Amino acid sequence: MNDMYQGPTITSELGRLPIEAAADRNRLSRGTASEVLDSIDDSPVADLLRDHGSPLFVFSETTLRRKLRHMREAFTSRYKNMSFAWSFKTNRLDAICKIMKDEGWAAEVVSDFEYEKARKLGYAGPEIVYNGPYKSRASIKTALEEGALIQIDNWDELAVVEQLAGELHGTFDVGIRVWVTTGYAPIWSKFGFSLVNGEAQHAARRIIRHPQFRLHTIHCHVGTYVLDPETFRVATQVLLGLRKELSDDTGHLVPCLNLGGGFPSNSLLHGMVGPAEVVIPPIEDYADAIAGELNALPKRDKPLLRVESGRYLVDEAGYLVSTIVAIKGGPRRDAPPETLSSLVVKEQMLLSDTARLSYVLDAGVNLLYTANWFAIQPFPDRRVNSLPEPTRLLGCLCMEIDVIRDHVDLPRLQTGDHLTFHPVGAYNFDQSMQFIHLRPAVVLIGEDRKVHLIRREETLADMEAAESLPAHLSG
């Protein structure tokens, strides 16, 4: 026997993945026809691109309002004393934030910029929750004056809030952010006061005993895209424990608990086996986990429950439509046949783990930042009568790392065909950038199925508006 021979190995995934994983290894097991998305809320993809250019962000008002109402019902049907806040950092487009306001959601902001934007959109101070590890002195003063709820993050910020409160000579509701360990999610120790070493308890007592403050809220945010609802059950238990400890010590029963956000959308991380609707817990499971703990309290002790959601609400309402601008690798119909061996085709059919065919798109990670973590699904806008092939989707940036999907099975497409990525409503627009290319237009398809331009395509003038040339370079 050859000394170099190595026997077969059992992969580490065996026994850990769901039974569907075996079928997913065979790209033909679920059929040979790729799912097509030729319209969004009855608006043909081709018409959207004709009118507004490619690439194009598209948002569905119908989907967004449906998600808002679904989440509200999931929680209020289990616990009556609720408050809902919308995470501005997840998507700060005016039209999106205004829909949130129309549906009765408060604004959760994490910077001077977001605070100012919320006020511009008509949110009153008491409708704003001000989070984040850095808040400027000026914005803290404004928030105190306008009655916004500042959720204090650290000792230095507490000192600033105390000093400004003394200057303003008023009484103020404030909150405190703490970080907790649940055993179900990574620890986010960057934000808030630690419960482990007692600093959260010390900070809370200091606030309670301050003559100008009422400690209104205890807040925590256990993470993002949290897949286990038990994380929230444990976090609720921990906050309730701190609340009781403070009540026993000071006589003050904190009226509000804020469990933050982190609820996942129906999207998959790279390497996860779908479909997302099966592996992502429904929002009702998260509501059960939190409300189950609160409903066990005596009626007089039940707090106001606030949640601050982002990804769950808006992700599935967002699409990015793109166009294939070039094809690289793999057998080409228009290539000289003598340069291609039939072996290439056979290998590609058999070894589906190696994508040799690549499509270059007019959109890249400059617009789809979350593609670094999420396997965002591309949908062709027409049905193609060909077997799906392992394909790489490359962005338009002059960077080797600009890869939207390293491997996805798609039918054989052509230059000029369109691919729509979904879901992309959370974080992608807010984290998009004008690197090499300017940002595209954004449209909202209303509940009446009319298409509204909510952000025009950027121009060179937009980019240069903030720049200036020194006099010696102006000639």
83-99 pLDDT, tens digit per residue, is: 999 999 999 999 999 99
CB contact at 8 A, 294 and 79: yes
SS3 content of the chain, % helix, strand, coil (to 5): 35, 20, 45
- 361: part of which helix (H) or strand (E)? strand 357-361
Rounded Cα–Cα distance for residues 110 and 130 (Å): 6
Angle of CA points 181, 81, 111, to nearest 5°: 60
Angle CA(363)–CA(369)–CA(370) in degrees, nearest 5?
Answer: 120
pLDDT > 60? residue 14: no
Measured distance CA(123)–CA(296) in Å, rounded: 34
Domains of the chain from N-terminus onward: 26-58+317-333+340-458 (2.40.37.10), 61-315 (3.20.20.10)
pLDDT band at 34 (very low <50, low <70, confident <90, very high): confident
Q: What is the pLDDT of residues 393-412, one digit of tens each?
A: 999 999 999 999 999 999 99
Place of tokens 């960057």: 190
**Model pTM score:** 0.88
pLDDT at 180: 87
* Res 73 pLDDT > 80: yes
Of 60, 86, 82, whose CA–CA distance to 73 is shortest?
82
How far apart (Å, rounded) are the C-alpha atoms in residues 16 and 271?
Answer: 13
* CB neighbours of residue 47 within 10 Å: 11
CA–CA distance, 125 with 291 (Å, rounded to integer) = 28
Contacting residues for 412 by C-beta, under 8 A, at least 6 apart: 357, 384, 386, 389
Give the other-Cβ count within 10 Å of 388's Cβ: 19
What is the share, in percent, of the chain residues with pLDDT greater than 70? Answer: 87
Q: What is the pLDDT of residue 427?
A: 97
> Is 88:78 a contact under the CB 8 Å cutoff?
no
In the DSSP assignment, the letter for residue 192 is: S
Non-local CB neighbours of 167 within 8 Å, separated by 6+ positions: none
What is the percent of the chain with per-residue pLDDT over 90, rounded to a whole number? 81
Q: Report the DSSP beta bridge partners of residue 130.
A: 109, 150
Residue 164 has pLDDT above 70, yes or no: yes
* DSSP, residue by residue, 304-351: EEEEEE-HHHHGGGEEEEEEEEEEESS--TTS-GGG--HHHHHHHHH-
- Identify the bridge partners of residue 418 per DSSP, sorted by sequence position: 323
Six-digit token pair at 342?
């039939």
| Backbone dihedral angles phi then psi of residue 289, each to the nearest 5 degrees | -60, -40
Record the tokens describing residue 398, joined without a space.
Answer: 């002059």
Strand-pairing partners, residue 218, are 176, 257
**Whole-angstrom distance, CA of residue 195 vs CA of residue 240:** 12
Q: Are 42 and 449 in contact (CB under 8 A)?
A: yes
DSSP track, 197-233: TSHHHHHHHHHHTSTTEEEEEEE----SS---THHHH
Cβ-Cβ contacts under 8 Å for 209 (sequence gap 6 or more): 250
Contact call for residues 115 and 130 (beta carbons, < 8 A): yes
Any alpha helices (H) in 339-450, and if so which ranges?
A: 342-350
Place of tokens 């497409």: 413
User: pLDDT of 105-155, one tens digit each?
Assistant: 999 999 999 999 999 999 999 999 999 999 999 999 999 999 999 999 999
Number of Cβ within a 10 Å radius of residue 245:
15
| pLDDT band at 386; cut points 50, 70, 90 | confident
Q: Is 142 helix (H, G, I), strand (E, B) or coil?
A: helix
Q: Which two tokens stand for residue 280?
A: 């992502």
* Secondary structure letter of residue 94 according to DSSP: H
Q: In whole angstroms, what is the distance from residue 352 CA to residue 277 CA?
A: 25
